[in-house]
Amino acid sequence: MADAPTRARRRTVATRVLLSYALVTAAFAVSAGWGVVSQRNAAKEADLMRSGYLPLSLALRDLVANQDTWNTQLNHITTARNPADKKVWFETSLRIGRPKTFGEVRASIARAFAGSGDESAQRVGRDLSAEASTIEEFLAQDRELLGKLFEALDRGEAARADSLRDELVTRGAQGKKRMSQLEQRIGHNVDQLLDAARERERLAIRLLLALSGFTLLVGAAMALYARRVLRPLAQVTSRAKAVADGDLTPRAVVASPDEIGELATTFEGMVAAIARANDQLLTSERLATIGKMAAHVTHEVRNPLSSIALNVELLEEELEGQGDAKEAVTLLKAIKAEVERLTALTEEYLSVARRRPLRLEEEQIGEVVNEACAFMSGDLRRHGVELSVEVEPDLPSVRVDEAQLKQSLFNLLRNAREAMPAGGSIDIRVARASGGGVDMVVEDRGSGMDEETRAHLFEPFFTTKGHGTGLGLAITRQIVEDHGGTIACEARAGGGTRFWIHLPAQTGPRESDAAAE
């Protein structure tokens, strides 16, 4: 339950890959979006040029050209042979030509500026339209002067006709000038529009290149990131192949704050569990073999040993009191000692064969330890070993098989005593375990042992002593594990060895033992 918030805060590989893809997509979308916006702006400007500025420029050019023709005709009006023909042309120009051309100019201005969403562009359009209307109103006054001119021509008033012609030509030049200024203004606006379009094009190219480079960079970074995220998965796969080939050696867990790291941790835990199960299976098989051998030894060896021991005792009784039989008595005692040793050896093997299922009952573990220590205290004192027992009060009740647990403590105390042939002290501490249950620690102050020896310490038949079977610690571990507990051995600070036993609270029997019951 404690890991749930951590898992909730942790980003999964799928989430991180999705975020990476989203980042790449966002970068591409920005690039594509900018390109689309640039293309739309370019299309709008092209449409504005085609449907607005180009017709407006052509209309203004036609207007200027018509005014030039108007002025040219005025210059020759007084010398024309038939002024009446010219009058028709001027009246047609005033009635049709000028209004049509100015109408095209206003329509082009409206198309170019009125439909724009830019307030400044609309304001420019209104100014241009107003200027065009002002020019048109200014030139509209030519109608009255033109009528007076033709009236003077009809009457033959040459001087007055020349004066009116000059006034009309002057006004025409002024109108042309204002039209040219309007045309230049339009041209200036077109130039500004083209300059802005070129600048936007350059900016769009730069931004497009930058965004394309950024997109490529993000894509490459995300590819490397995804590769780094998924690399532990390849390591887990390689580890699984190694385990399939039989390599159960513990390995460091792949550090990754996601489900791959969780998978690696779970997988290594599974490998460790398999290794422990294999060790336990091997130990069980060895102990089962020992049990079969012990039963055979009991049948084939123990009875002859009993007969030998009985005959040795009878010989001792026969030779008692005979002064010349001291040497024979000594030999018989040596034979008797060896027979007793062999008998003890068969008893130890037989204890393996006779192992019974656990009989679990709730016990005060402190009392069980104190009773076991009291039983061993006499033997320890004879060998110069002092025993110190420290039991924490209010320990939780633990379901144990009292006899077998005491047997495991006897084995540990004997080993500790034998590790100190010159005497010493043994400390036993019993305390509440941090995760529940009870911890028992047995420490001696002997010469200790190296790491390689500790690695094989609980294997059947492994011993560093010149005598013994090497079964004591193997049986001890089997008893502890049958209780659902664990046992470990480590070097003690300052010299010696520390055995640590953990028994969980309210432990039930193992499945094999329950079935045996």
Continuous segment of H or E residues that includes residue 487: strand 486-491
In terms of DSSP bridges, do strands 385-391 and 424-432 run parallel, antiparallel, or are they unpaired? Answer: parallel
Half-sphere exposure for 387 (CA within 13 Å, toward CB): 26
Q: Binning pLDDT at 50, 70 and 90, where does residue 429 land?
A: very high
Q: Are 189 and 113 in contact (CB under 8 A)?
A: no
Residue 12 is predicted with a pLDDT of: 67
Residue 352 is predicted with a pLDDT of: 58
pLDDT, one tens digit per residue, over 94-142 is: 888 888 888 888 887 777 776 666 677 778 778 888 888 888 888 888 8
Reported pTM: 0.43
pLDDT, one tens digit per residue, over 66-86 is: 888 888 888 877 776 777 777
Q: How far apart are CA 214 and CA 200, in angstroms?
A: 20
Out of 116-120, 220-224, 225-229, 282-286, the most confident range is 220-224
Q: Across all residues in the chain, what is the average pLDDT?
A: 77
The pLDDT of 358-367, averaged and rounded, is: 84
Half-sphere exposure for 223 (CA within 13 Å, toward CB): 6
The H-assigned helical ranges of 141-247 are 142-155, 158-244
Q: Are 98 and 60 in contact (CB under 8 A)?
A: no
Q: Is the pLDDT of residue 3 over 60?
A: no
Q: How far apart are CA 394 and CA 377, in angstroms?
A: 24
Angle at 143 between CA 82 and CA 77, to 5 degrees: 25
Q: How far apart are CA 109 and CA 459, in angstroms?
A: 103
Determine which of 12-21, 34-43, 463-472 has the lowest per-residue pLDDT on average. Answer: 463-472
User: What CATH number is given for 358-516 in this structure?
Assistant: 3.30.565.10
